[in-house]
Structure formats: structure tokens, C-alpha cells
Chain A
Amino acid sequence: MSSSTTTAGRDTAVGQRSGIAGRLQWRAMAIYVFVLGEMIVFSVLSANFLTAANLGNIALNAADLALIAAGMTLVIILGGIDVAVGSVLGLLALISGTATLAGVNPWLIVVLAVVLGTAIGALHGLIVTKGMVSPIIATIGLLAVWRAVHFSLWGGSDLFAPPISLLLVERFAGIPGVAFLVLVVYGGLAYVMRFRSFGRNVYAIGNDAEAARLAGIRVTRTTIGAFALLGGLVGVAALVFMSRTGVIQAYSGQGLELAVIAAVVVGGTSITGGRGAILGTLGGVVFVAVLQNGVVLLGVPPLWNGLLLGAFILLAVSIDAIVNRRAARRERAL
């Protein structure tokens, strides 16, 4: 990555410590401790939890969540949010499913879903930047709009579609194929956030958009780019969703945004932007997915699922707020 090969070891160590990825690693990585604790609890409480089959299930079921949460991390670090991802996923899954049943070439469907998703994401970004609507308000509106489009296209009965590719759902040594895709996406994005100026600019904008503008960073373009990237990942997630469930309903994808935001926030990304890490989100996704799975294994009514998820969002956001307030107070005391 670096053209410099003469750097002494000490320099490299400092180099890695400086900057977000190094310095804030502990904050993002704290989630893995919680994941470990959670897994120990569920292993003790249920004999079925720590089995290859169940862990494979978790990986498969969490794949679409993971893909969207990766993109959402960028958007949230940038100081935005997109709560319409569930609706967009439903719509794109419906379109892809319909195309599959019509016998369209699977490669073409992949391109279609990704391009459509990217375009929709870019549109969200455009509304947020050029339309100057706050991201949460704009995407609440879009959530309703895309769901309505979904309804109007939905034929009135559930759509049963075959997987876009068996590679996604088949298991290799117990690991579903889609898990590899997820890991590639996370690795790629972690790299982008640290080594591409796009990634550095996303952090800068989330810290202070005005300061970023003064520093000559293209704020509008970067913002639209982050939303578009999220949209593209929603497109991929829609294909995964369709392939693993095999059915698209009127309410497919509904409520997904809650789990996505929960994963991002418990993964250490500040909901107000400026700070966070992609690899923390991966931990957050695992945490949420294991929670959802464990609760089912224990035979707890699904009602409690939402309660636990909600409680963890509140906990994560409160911890974030408290940490920030402490930091602000310290700053003021200087």
C-alpha cells in the first residue's frame, strides 16, 4: 500500500496508532467482547446453539443485514442515516424475483439490482444534499414511498422465486457461500475507509461538514457517493434475501432498518457521526444476529426479540452520549 519500504518498525507502529483506524480500534472492538459473552450465555442455555449447523444458519440469515449495515456505517459516520433501506430491499427483491421467474439471465439480474440500488441510493443522497432535507426526515418519507411502489408492483400474492445462485446458499465446510461475500465486502470497505481519500473525507464530513468544505473537500459529492454505495449494497442484499428466503411478500424487509442501525450503533459507530469503524459494525451484526437466533432457540416469544434489540440500541446510544458529554466537559475544562 505504501510505496515507502524503508520505514522503521517503530514508525509503522506509530503510523497505525495515529488516525482513526488505530486509535479508535479499541472502541469498535469492544463489541467482540460482548459477542463472546453473548455466545457463552447461549451455549450454556441451549445445547443447539454451538453447533456447526446453527452457526451456519446465523451466518446465512444475517448476510443481508450484514451487507446493508456495512454501507450504513459509512452513511452514519458521515453524519447521515437512511431508514428506507428495508423498503428498498423489499422492492428490489420483488423486481429481481419477478425477473428471475421471467427467465432473465441471472447475471443481468445481478447488474439490474445493483444498478437500481445504487441509483436509488444516489437519489436519497441527492435529496439530502441538494434538497437540504435532514436525512432522517427525507428517508422516513422515502420509506413510505418505496413501500407504496412495492405494493403497487406486488401482484397480491406471495412471489416464490428460486435463488439467484446456489453458490450463495450452499455451504462449504459448513460455511454458507454468502458469508465469503460478506467478508470480502467488509474487508474492502475497511480498506476504503482507511486508505482511500473518499473514506477519510467521510470521517471529516461527519466531524464537521463546514470545516470539510473549508478544507476543499467535495461534501456534496462524497455524501451522494456514500448513499449510493449503501444503495448498491442494498441491491446485493436484496438478491441474498431473495435467495435465502425464496419468497417475497408485501412486507418483505419491513423493520430491517432497525436491526441495521442497531448493528452499526452497538458496533461503536457514533450515531451523530464522525467516528466509527467498519469492523466494529461486523461485530455489531454478529451480536444482533446471535441475539435474534439465541432468543428463538430458547423459545422466548418473538415479542421479546424486539424488546431486547430496542434495549441494546438504547444502551449503545446512551453510552455514546455519555462518552461524548464527558469528552465535551473535559474539553471545556481546558
Chain B
Amino acid sequence: MGSTLLEATGLCKAFGPTQALAEVGLHLHAGEVVAVLGENGAGKSTLIKILSGVYIADAGAMRLLDEPYEPATPADAVQAGVAAVFQEPTFFPQLSVLENVFAGRQPRSRFGNVQWTAMLREGRELFTELGLSPALLDRRMEQLSLGHQQLVLIARALHLEARVLILDEPTSILTENDATKLFALVEQFTGGGGGVLYITHRFGELAQVADRIVVLKDGRKVGEGAASELSEQQVIHLMSGRHIEQAEAMAQGKRGAADAAPLLTVQGLTVEGAFSDVNLTVSRGEIVGLYGLIGAGRTEIALSLFGQLHPSAGTVTLDGRPYAPRSSRAAMAAGVAYVPEDRKTQGLYPLMDTGANLSTAVLDRVSQGGFVHRSKERTLVRRFVESLGIKTRDPGESILNLSGGSQQKVLLARWLATEPKLLILDEPTRGIDVGTKTEIHRLIFGLAEQGFGVLVISSELPELLVLSDHVHVVRDGRMVADFRRGDATSHAVLEATMGYTGADV
């Protein structure tokens, strides 16, 4: 093993009440590929964002090539020789691939002119060297597939003469062919003395790529070892095993799924390019969970049930009647409510008060002849503020003054007010502190108790396991496994999520 390239000790980072990273240490040698594994929310992204200068750690120290390394901006990190390609890449869609590779550091003549011919020659050399088609250089970035965009960004990073390359789930959107190209790039890079930090969810490629594995859980490093020595079983064991005790107690009290006829039946549902052949049922009083990695197609399934994506195949029935909403209005009219995953951009009206945020979906029910009946609206708002325990002094208070948990409850109330039969909750507790999480869990149990059908999407496996009577696992747009309450252990679900087949490494 070569000399130490990058060394981090005691890295900590908190976001509000959430400790995203606690006392994490890491080292990377020249010529080495270190894979970082962990569940969603284990702290992988936070770690690499600190290493690449996007976040600044609350505590801890980093050294690069035996020099102190304190990047304040991504540009600092790049300057020092640390390049990162993120899962949601940033690039210039309307510029050519060539310009994307060279943005910010085009070859220039003595007089400062951009030398297009030299740039093109360099770009060609780079692409040929990396086994990419030089013809790509000429195309606009937005015309490339996601996989090719990713490869271009890696090429850009390599051209920066980086010593450390950080790849955040690079293969999750790559085809097999592109992935092979990527592995070749990685090998070439480490062969030249570079080190790679590799975030992945795919066990299949660990043996192929990684020299060493680091496992994170709840922001802490829980295991580390040579890739050849750690079995998949051991890694999964290290990743899993979190508990949410209070909610578990609540789940004990919950009756089994109602035996009534299914409320929602989905058969063979397919949306081109997002997911295919999805089957699931939700009964009244049942909580059904959808688990999968971000980008696996969970949210798209929800959006298609809410009329936002139009399926190309499959049938859906709601309450025994065919259900094929063409718009969110149609979905609402049929009795489906969707609480979106991103509160800030898809839910809240930041400039309006709490009451207005709550009543927006049912204004016509509290209006007469086009005029909002203020007292009726107030009654409605008050009812939900009380029943959901929304902490606000007064419905006239700005929604931004409320805590994340109360904001989430307001959004929940907004949709409950439409008197739906089926509630779809996408990441209902994201960014909410632990105490309020429990309250939201209690609310969800209560709703099921009242006879709502509930479909929950969550990246937090422990939460989903506790809430759901039935968990479906989505991987690459397909339903790959389902578990009844009791059979669903985090171990089993994670195995299904990552495509573990039972064969040892």
C-alpha cells in the first residue's frame, strides 16, 4: 500500500438537532479504493461533503499529503487535489461536453485568449486515454444520458489532476457497459497513485472495486476492514440494527391489517423510464411501506398514483372502481391525498399564515359564491390544530415560525381536510427531531385506526419497519421483495434492497 494521501480524524457535523456525523475518522492511501457503506441517512453524504469542501466540519481535523487540509469551498478542495462527483451532479447543460470538461480553466494563449484548438486536442487526448468517444466532446451536455454525464464529470475530475477522487454512488444510474468503463477509469486513476473514496449501495461491485470497506451507521463509523475479509453478511449486519423503541411499543398495540376488501389495488403498473410492473394493495386501516434507495422509483410510484406521472401499462382500482387520475385534482376528487417529500418546495406556502396553509386544498368547501367564509375556515383550522396537536399560538401566525414537525402536521392536516380514503406520505419525518417524529408516528397509527389506507415512503428503514404492516422493496424501478410485519427485519430488507443474492463475496 502506498503512502497516506488523506487522513481525517474525529469529524463531527450536526444539522440542528440531528448529529449527522460523530467522531468519524478515515484514511486513504495512494493507489487505494475505499468503499463507504451505510443505510440512507448514515452520514455518508455528510462525510464526503466535508472532505470536498461543501460543508465545514464542526470538529475534527484533516490532512492531505501530510499537510493540514481545511477546504472552505469546493474550489479550495479542487485546488488541493480533491475532486468529487456527486450523486446529483452539477454541470452546464447548454454548453458542450468539451466546455464542461474545461469550464473555469480553459487553455489560454499568452494574451489570455481561449485556445479552442488546443482545448479540443487536449479533450480528445483525455477522452481517448479514458476510453471515451471523442465524438462526445462536440455534443451539448443536456443531450447526453445521465450515465454519460457522470462519466464526463469524472473525466473532468481526472483532468484536474486530482490526487483524491470521491465518487458518490456513481453506478446507481449507470448501465452495465458504462459501469465497466467507470471501473476501468478508477483502476487507471489508482494505478497512477491516486486514491478513491467510493460510496455505493451495490454489493456486487465491492469485490470488483474496493480494497477496503468502511461502514457508517447513525453518523458513526461502526466497522472497517479489507474488502477481501469482510463478508456481505458481516457488512449488512454492521449496517442494520437500529431501533425506534417508542414507536415499536405503539406498533404492539396495533391490530393486524383490516381484513376488508382492498381499498387500492395496483396491478402491473408501469411508467416508462421510472418503474415497471408494480403490484401492491392497500386495505382500509392498513399501513403499507415502500422502501428503496433514493432514485429506485419509490416517489415515482407515488406520483403516478396521484396523477402526476401517466402510466403506460397496468391497472389501478380504488374502492372497487377503476382509478386512472390524469391530474392531482382528479386524484383528490377520487379520495387520494399525497403529502410530498420536500416540505419546503412542494408543500408550504412560505409567505402565508398557518391557517391559509392548512385550508388551501379545501377552500371551496368553506366558501360561498366564491367568497371564503372566514368563520367556517377558522372552525376547520381550529379543529385540525387541536386534533393533530399543531403547536401554534394562533392560525394567523406565519408558517415559518412553526417547527419542522408542526409544519409537517399542517401539511398532513391540509390533506386530511380533503377527507381522503388513501393517504400517501412521502418521507413524513424527514428533517424532524426525534420527539416530534414519535408524535407523527402516533398520528399515522391513529389514522390507520380510523380506517384510512396509508402508503408510506421513507428512507429510514427502522421507521418504516415499525410503521408498516407490509413492506415492499423497490430496486431499479421494480418490486423485488415484500415482507409482512414480523417477517420484515432490517437485515432481510437491506439484502433485498441491495440485490444480495445469498452468495458470499
A residues touching B (Cβ–Cβ < 8 Å)? 1-4, 7, 11-12, 14-20, 23, 194-197, 199-201, 203-204, 207-208, 210-217, 274-275, 327, 331-334
Contact = CB atoms under 8 A, between A and B. Distances in A.
A179 to B, nearest CB: 27
A39 B35 CA distance: 65
Contacts of A2: 109, 113, 115-118
B91 A208 contact: yes
A204 B114 contact: no
B95 A207 contact: yes
24 contacts: A1-B109, A3-B109, A3-B118, A4-B115, A7-B121, A11-B120, A14-B138, A15-B120, A16-B116, A18-B138, A20-B95, A194-B116, A195-B113, A196-B112, A199-B114, A204-B95, A204-B99, A207-B91, A211-B90, A213-B73, A213-B75, A216-B79, A217-B103, A332-B273
Contact of B92 (A196, A204, A332): A204
Contacts of B145: 334
A7 B117 contact: yes
B94 A18 contact: no
B114 A200 contact: yes
Interface residues of B, number: 38
B146 A203 contact: no
B344 interface: no
Interface core residue of B73, B75, B108 (most chain A CB under 10 Å): B75
A275 B94 contact: yes
A18 B109 contact: no
Given A15-B117, A203-B94, 7 more contacts: A3-B110, A14-B138, A23-B140, A208-B92, A211-B90, A214-B74, A216-B78
Contact of B115 (A3, A204, A210, A213): A3
B119 to A, nearest CB: 8
**Which of A3, A203, A214 has the most chain B CB atoms inside 10 A of its CB?**
A214
A74 B422 CA distance: 51
A208 B114 contact: no
Nearest to A21: B116
B489 interface: no
B106 interface: yes
Nearest to A16: B116
B142 interface: yes
Interface string B111-152: 011111110110000000000000001101010011000000
B438 interface: no
A272 to B, nearest CB: 10
Nearest to B145: A334
Contacts of A200: 99, 103, 106, 114
A202 to B, nearest CB: 11
A196 B114 CA distance: 5
Nearest to B105: A216
Nearest to B113: A195
A19 B96 contact: yes
Nearest to A214: B74
Identify the interface centre among B73, B90, B98, B109: most chain A CB within 10 Å of its CB.
B90
B142 A11 contact: no
B293 to A, nearest CB: 20
Contacts of A19: 95-96, 98-99, 116
Contacts of B106: 197, 200
Contacts of B93: 207-208, 274
A218 to B, nearest CB: 9
Contacts of A333: 272-273
Q: Sort A-B residue pairs by CB-CB distance and give the 10 closest, nearest first.
A: A211-B90, A207-B92, A215-B104, A216-B75, A18-B138, A2-B117, A215-B103, A195-B113, A216-B104, A214-B74
Given A18-B137, A216-B79, A274-B94, A197 B108 contact: yes
B138 A17 contact: yes
Contacts of A4: 115, 117-118, 121
A18 B91 contact: no
B114 A327 contact: no
A249 B31 CA distance: 72
A292 to B, nearest CB: 31
Contacts of A7: 117, 121
Interface in B146-191: 146
A23 B117 contact: no
B130 to A, nearest CB: 18
Contact of A204 (B104, B113, B140, B142): B104
A197 B74 contact: no
A14 B120 contact: yes
Nearest to A331: B142
Contacts of A195: 113-114, 116
Contacts of A275: 94
Q: Which of B94, B145, B272, B273 has the most CB of A within 10 A?
A: B94
Contacts of B90: 208, 210-211, 214
Contacts of B272: 333
Contacts of B114: 194-197, 199-200
A59 to B, nearest CB: 31
Interface in B57-98: 73-75, 78-79, 90-96, 98
B6 to A, nearest CB: 19
Contacts of A194: 114, 116
Contact of B98 (A18, A196, A197): A18
A209 to B, nearest CB: 10
A15 B116 contact: yes
A53 B92 CA distance: 46
Nearest to B92: A207
Contacts of B105: 216
Contact of B112 (A15, A197, A210, A217): A197
Most central of B103, B108, B113 by chain A CB within 10 Å: B103
A208 B120 CA distance: 23
B94 A12 contact: no
B354 to A, nearest CB: 27
A274 B115 CA distance: 21
Contacts of B108: 197
Nearest to B115: A2
B213 to A, nearest CB: 28
Nearest to B79: A216
Nearest to A273: B94
A102 B328 CA distance: 68
A79 to B, nearest CB: 12
Nearest to B91: A211
A333 B274 CA distance: 9
B116 A334 contact: no
A15 B124 CA distance: 11
A20 B75 contact: no
Contacts of A1: 109, 113, 115
A273 to B, nearest CB: 9
